[in-house]
Amino acid sequence: MLLSFYMELQKIIKSRLKKIEDAKLYSPKEILELGVVLNIKFEPSLDRVYRLIKRGLLPTKNFGDLQARWFVTGKDLRAFAEARYLSKK
């Protein structure tokens, strides 16, 4: 049962990764819409995206002066998602 759920989750993540363009910059809200970063309930979560950015686990580029404006490159986002959800542990 658990194995079939994990296999289905991998299929979903793979299909979502196909939508990511490597050269494009993605804002946290765009990452949420893609549904690539999941929380503990396996649901897309904006709070989880910001937490990963603040902890430095998701590499970002900051374009803000007074207020932080974080963007993640598609290449980094794809590498993060593959390492987190598709790697065999």
Indicate if the pLDDT at residue 24 is higher than 90. yes
Is pLDDT above 90 for 75?
yes
Domain spans in the chain, listed from the N-terminal domain onward: 2-86
> Does pTM surpass 0.95?
no
Kindly indicate the confidence band of residue 1, based on its pLDDT and cuts at 50, 70 and 90: low
Q: CA 67 to CA 69: how far, in whole Å?
A: 6
Comparison of pLDDT for 10 and 47, the residue scoring more: 47
| pLDDT score, position 2 | 66
Residue 89 has pLDDT above 80, yes or no: no
